[in-house]
Amino acid sequence: MNKMKLKILKKSVIILIILAPLVTDQGCKKQPKCGCGKDAIFVFSDENMNNVANVYYSETTKIASFYSDLHPGSTFYFCNPGKWIDTLKTFPKDNNDQLLPLLIYGIVYYECNYLMNAANYSYYVSPVYQVDVTAIKEDNYGKK
């Protein structure tokens, strides 16, 4: 009977060793979901004053993106560029045929390729985001 109890005890210890990591809290943080409509990171609005951007777009590829001075090195892609291309064409351009800075409003999400690359490389990867744009306005700061 002692040998039987010893075998059961050994098996119980092995099972506990295997199951212990599953039961205990490992302290892992939830990874953010990427892509439009997933886990929002922040919002471009008048309240946070970081929505002034230099917008670039292509009518042929239907891609629209922008860079913000308050997020150096970051690239923001429109989630819904086709909806905004005609609107973007109405805004004034400078002498080099570039759009003047615009106010962008919308919800910002991580771009999936960026999250994958940032997790897989040991060096810094410039942030890339997607924005579900809700409004675009001309930046009239300082104009009367």
Q: Where are the domains of the chain?
A: 28-138
Across 3-12, 118-127, 128-137, the highest mean pLDDT is recorded for 128-137
Mean pLDDT confidence for 32-61 = 80
Could you tell me the pTM of the whole model?
0.71
- Non-local CB neighbours of 53 within 8 Å, separated by 6+ positions: 66, 67, 68, 76, 101, 102, 103, 104
pLDDT-derived band at 15 (thresholds 50, 70, 90) equals confident
| Percent of the chain topping pLDDT 90 | 10
